[in-house]
Structure 1
Amino acid sequence: MTKNILFIMFDQLRFDYLSCAGHPHLHTPNIDRIAERGVRFTRAYVQSPVCGASRMSTYTGRYASTHGAQYNGFPLRVGEMTLGDHLRPLGMDCWLIGKTHMRVDAEGMERLGLSPDSVIGARQAECGFDVWCRDDGLWAEGPDGFYDENRSPYNEYLKSRGYPGENPWADFANAAVEGGDIASGWFMTNANKPANIAEEDSETPWLTGEAIKFIEQAKGPWCAHLSYIKPHWPYIVPAPYHDMFGPNHVPAAVRHDSERDNPHPVYAAFMNNRIGRAFSREEVRQKVIPAYMGLIKQCDDQMGRLFDFLERNGRMQDTMIVITSDHGDYLGDHWLGEKDLFHEPSVKVPLIIYEPSPDADATRGTTCDALVESIDLPATFIEVAGGKVPDHIVEGRSLLPFLHGKTPENWRDYAISEYDYSTSPMAAELDVAPRDARLFMVTDQRWKFIHAEGGFRPMLFDLVSDPNEFDDLGDSADHADIIALMYDRLGKWGRRMSQRVTVSDEQINAARTGGKQVGILIGVFEPDEVPPAASSKYRGPVPTKEKD
């Protein structure tokens, strides 16, 4: 069966804010119906808990330290292969509808003479995608200008709908109104107010409409990356979603006073930054979390609109659907806000995959607790498109066997995530050099270990006896053997072959067992030590020199 791939990514969606994952108040029946038809992976980890680095890992199938785009705004270097580069030779188009958070390597393109107006240049500038509609959804503006210098298709849409001003994203879609003045969603005190926009004109419905337009005209096979900005902040949502949830729906924060007792210095720095201090206040959580839930509920309703469209048009039978996120959101858990560190609410993400073929019938509605990484998605898509995963380039592994009820041989024993916090105020506060402002997570079925460069001690959590990750055992002598094991694993991972991307193992093995005979004879003492054919060019009479 020829399949299409609908690759849906929400921004900053926690793994546990779905009813299929057990949330007690937030009902997401449309995402749940994909879980009922597919497999929900319960231990899926991103390769960096920050937007840009996580996405670049997911799009390349490579770890953050391999591709090098380790933080927001760090360019993805020219030549790094992404989804489109792998899928197009297999006959599958690869399109973007929404966000990538990718920064182009402008210097690299100039050095190589690549024009962004050319097909190859445009793809290099857009993370390897052909663009139906790119909108990274953060049209913030400050004294030094806009956060994102690109044109906003969503802003243009709002203007066409009669919303005035240069930046209706900020003035309407992400702001309420109070006494005739803008009540911006940037100020979390406004999170309980309705955004000053018709619900059907807000970001999530708009992008869903773009996805439907794309699918209506698409000729398969195609991979479409439908990438939503929400439920990412600003935490504000239009009516009727703004007051669907209230204080009685806000779960107690997963945090403990003991976490503030002699914490790891890096953890302490994040707890004490502005975001951590804000989300440590219960009044902030009481404002933000109902809005966050409203944003998710709106996303789920739009999934209903999209999936109903697919059903009506017969596309559920030939389209793989993947639902995931680029990272989570602390929401006050562990005295933190946003993402950045490696507690489960930040680094673990939802991952649901519906595979329409009969081969997946036995796994429908099941869960899988294998250790899965976001970089496994490109490998999965390559296999779905009929290709062989180039494992000298793509560091993830295909999840297709799990979808078909099989366990792949030698599946990983641990998952890896990385975080480069070198540009943050916390790095300056800790007086850590840019190259040392890095964290590495290694997690297995029981333990979670975090190494911090810069001379800091490690962190360690027992996920079985301490599932809430309150008790840091990183300086426990009783756990020295576990810490040693984790350092062993980190060392093995660090020694992986990650940069030999132009020659595969298969090519090397072929060269070992009878490559081309091109006359290189090293270590030969006598001519008869090698077959005559190998030295035929070096035997016989001397050629006669032509006379002048």
Structure 2
Amino acid sequence: MGKIRNILFIMADQLRADYLSCAGHPTLQTPHIDGLAKRGVRFDRAYCQAPVCGPSRMSFYTGRYMTSHGATYNAVPLRATELTLGDYLRPLGYRVALVGKTHMKGDDAGMRRLGLDPNSSLGVLVSQCGFEPVERDDGLHPDQGVDPDLAYNRYLRAKGYESENPWHDFANAAEGPNGEILSGWYLRNARLPARVREEDSETPYMTDRAIDFIRDSGETPWCLHLSYIKPHWPYIAPAPYHAMYGPNQILPAKRHPRERENTHPVVAAFMQHEESVNFSRDEARETVIPAYMGLVKQLDDHLGRLFAFLEAEGRMDDTLIVLTSDHGDYLGDHWLGEKELFHEESVRIPLIVYSPDAAADATRGHVEQRFAEAIDLVPTFLAAAGGTAQPHRLEGASLLPLLEGRVPDGWRDATFSECDYAFREARQILLVPPDQARGWMVRTGRWKYIAYEGFRPQLFDMETDPDEYVDLGESPAHEDARAAMAARLLAWLKQRRIRTTISNEDVEKRTGNAKSRGILFGVW
């Protein structure tokens, strides 16, 4: 074992925290991810800061809450002036690269104002979320179409998959009895195998690109963000993974009839979305979830291949590895589909951290119950690279002390998340203007409090009601608990980092010394 030299930051899009065997899933076996957990620490109470791809990832990459970085939904640009992971690590000598997805929308207007050419060396970094795009592939084109010139599409065509858009027609579609293309966008087709050979599908392809990067990286320390698109929809898996699991192996739906009685207005509006209506049907769950499980199993198998490569290259001895997800997936729980709201199935994420440093030996295989947040990764990577903490910008905290069995003073006893549902049909159903379609969550060990602008709050007792079936938002007996949690939320909002262009140390140096700098005011 040795000191940390490289960083491998793995993200699997829309992977639920409870869909790993090391997290207790009874039928889905993920031995390679479990093996990483045995060599590192699994954070059982890790939370994303916005349970939607774009804003969640921007919190991961900036180390800041959604309110602070301002990219509140998919395709909402991240400010060109916002620092990201690469801005913290490159000055320390790191090559910071991307293979896979970021779901980041560049701030084109901000770059024009600054005179930045997006094709220049600096412009590429600013427009690619601070990463060197070894291969960026969001699956979807930023304009929500599919890019026929995507590198993966070119790869598939070179392999003989003849189509303008083989990403859809082969990797994310099945074949009907008469040779017709059955799109993976339709849930009913999830039980069928994708038309692509397994070795040419998205997960092995991205794994190969990551292996190529690591093999060719040379002596420069690197941070590689390997960002898998799956198990995010379209829910369709190549053979044999499409048929590895059946309806008898899926988790029972975590939902209760009382959730449809006096339902919170925002939740009720989301229940009317097409994905929620369909996922509330047993037929849809029994069709889709086996495919979702197959995609997770495929991910685990190829991570096993990646970890074996790292072992053979000696990189397990000098590489910090993080495995996580940007958010979860309702899969019909709570009568909902997709993600976005604040139930545990949506907002809690898997988080496994492996450090090669001998200082972490005491915690190997440990399951950490303290709260961790997505915004903790940038401070963790910065500390691992030997950088200086920057608390005037970064709102998370380094996880390295917890990996080494030390608990820093004042470690958080609550976790926070946010949502902006302005772009969703729920806002129109509720007749809410776009700038008021906001929600916030604060969760402590016992309570989860949710506030939606313009509506009553929600409150759940996570000790007596861990499945979140009983909304205490209007319970007279819990008025004091709601008031206390509302105060916690307000205190958190007042602590956001807004003075980001000057450090706290510089503030200290400039405090009370105006006279010594020749500035005399109020002197007799």
TM tier, smaller: over 0.9
Q: Cα–Cα, structure 1 residues 215 and 435, in superposed 2: closer, same or farther, change >3 Å?
A: same
Structure 1 residues 318-370: Cα deviation after superposition (integer angstroms, max 9, x where no partner): 00110000000011100011101100010000000000010000000001011
2:112 maps to 110
The letter of the residue matching 1:441 is M
Rounded Cα–Cα distance in structure 2 between residues aligned with 1:371 and 1:485: 19
Aligned counterparts, 1:295-314, within 5 A:
295-314=295-314
Aligned counterparts, 1:22-171, within 5 A:
22-138=24-140, 147=145, 151-171=149-169
Among residues 167, 172, 186, which one is paired with 1:174 in the alignment? 172
Instruction: Note if contact 1:139-1:170 (Cα within 8 Å) is conserved in structure 2.
Output: no
2:11 maps to 9
Q: Cα–Cα, structure 1 residues 434 and 118, in superposed 2: closer, same or farther, change >3 Å?
A: same
* TM-aligned CA deviation for residue 505 of structure 1: 1.3
* TM-aligned CA deviation for residue 146 of structure 1: 5.1
SS at match of 1:375: helix
* TM-aligned CA deviation for residue 517 of structure 1: 3.0
Aligned counterparts, 1:422-433, within 5 A:
422-433=422-433
* TM-aligned CA deviation for residue 512 of structure 1: 2.4
Rounded Cα–Cα distance in structure 1 between residues aligned with 2:221 and 2:4: 7
SS at match of 2:356: coil
RMSD (Å) for aligned C-alpha atoms: 1.3
Rounded Cα–Cα distance in structure 1 between residues aligned with 2:147 and 2:191: 30
The letter of the residue matching 2:181 is I
Structure 1 residues 468-500: Cα deviation after superposition (integer angstroms, max 9, x where no partner): 000000111111111111111111111114210
Instruction: Note if contact 1:2-1:221 (Cα within 8 Å) is conserved in structure 2.
Output: no
* TM-aligned CA deviation for residue 389 of structure 1: 1.6
- Confirm whether residue 258 of structure 1 aligns to residue 254 of structure 2: no
Q: Cα–Cα, structure 1 residues 139 and 243, in superposed 2: closer, same or farther, change >3 Å?
A: farther
1:440 maps to 440
1:421 maps to 421
Rounded Cα–Cα distance in structure 2 between residues aligned with 1:151 and 1:90: 34
5+ residue gaps, structure 1, are 526-548
The letter of the residue matching 1:96 is L
Instruction: Note if contact 2:146-2:165 (Cα within 8 Å) is conserved in structure 1.
Output: no
Instruction: Note if contact 1:46-1:326 (Cα within 8 Å) is conserved in structure 2.
Output: yes
SS at match of 1:176: strand
Rounded Cα–Cα distance in structure 2 between residues aligned with 1:393 and 1:93: 22
2:199 maps to 200
The letter of the residue matching 1:466 is D
Rounded Cα–Cα distance in structure 1 between residues aligned with 2:384 and 2:12: 22
Rounded Cα–Cα distance in structure 2 between residues aligned with 1:195 and 1:354: 33
2:411 maps to 411
2:455 maps to 456
* TM-aligned CA deviation for residue 515 of structure 1: 7.0
The letter of the residue matching 1:331 is L
2:465 maps to 466
* TM-aligned CA deviation for residue 311 of structure 1: 0.6
TM-score by length of 2: 0.98
Rounded Cα–Cα distance in structure 1 between residues aligned with 2:518 and 2:340: 56
SS at match of 1:237: coil
Instruction: Note if contact 1:62-1:396 (Cα within 8 Å) is conserved in structure 2.
Output: yes
* TM-aligned CA deviation for residue 503 of structure 1: 1.2
The letter of the residue matching 2:98 is L
Rounded Cα–Cα distance in structure 1 between residues aligned with 2:209 and 2:353: 22
Rounded Cα–Cα distance in structure 1 between residues aligned with 2:141 and 2:27: 31
Structure 1 residues 417-476: Cα deviation after superposition (integer angstroms, max 9, x where no partner): 0000001111011000111100100001111110000x2100011111001000000111
SS at match of 2:75: coil
Rounded Cα–Cα distance in structure 2 between residues aligned with 1:510 and 1:266: 48
Rounded Cα–Cα distance in structure 1 between residues aligned with 2:242 and 2:496: 49
1:534 maps to none
1:529 maps to none
SS at match of 1:423: coil
The letter of the residue matching 2:36 is I
The letter of the residue matching 2:239 is A
1:479 maps to 478
Instruction: Note if contact 2:255-2:334 (Cα within 8 Å) is conserved in structure 1.
Output: yes
Instruction: Note if contact 1:96-1:225 (Cα within 8 Å) is conserved in structure 2.
Output: yes
Q: Cα–Cα, structure 1 residues 258 and 2, in superposed 2: closer, same or farther, change >3 Å?
A: closer
Structure 1 residues 199-222: Cα deviation after superposition (integer angstroms, max 9, x where no partner): 000000000000000000113311
Instruction: Note if contact 1:62-1:375 (Cα within 8 Å) is conserved in structure 2.
Output: yes
- Confirm whether residue 340 of structure 1 aligns to residue 333 of structure 2: no
* TM-aligned CA deviation for residue 150 of structure 1: 8.4
Structure 1 residues 231-270: Cα deviation after superposition (integer angstroms, max 9, x where no partner): 0000100000010000110121000000000100000011
Instruction: Note if contact 2:237-2:295 (Cα within 8 Å) is conserved in structure 1.
Output: yes
Rounded Cα–Cα distance in structure 2 between residues aligned with 1:401 and 1:131: 31
Rounded Cα–Cα distance in structure 2 between residues aligned with 1:497 and 1:464: 29
1:215 maps to 214
* TM-aligned CA deviation for residue 2 of structure 1: 4.4
Deviates more, 1:52-61 or 1:1-10: 1-10
Rounded Cα–Cα distance in structure 1 between residues aligned with 2:69 and 2:326: 17
SS at match of 2:351: strand
2:499 maps to 500
- Confirm whether residue 356 of structure 1 aligns to residue 353 of structure 2: no
5+ residue gaps, structure 2, are none
TM-score by length of 1: 0.93
Rounded Cα–Cα distance in structure 1 between residues aligned with 2:90 and 2:146: 29
SS at match of 1:517: helix
Instruction: Give the fraction of aligned pairs with identical amino acids, expressed as a percent.
Output: 57
Rounded Cα–Cα distance in structure 1 between residues aligned with 2:63 and 2:332: 31
1:546 maps to none
* TM-aligned CA deviation for residue 147 of structure 1: 2.4
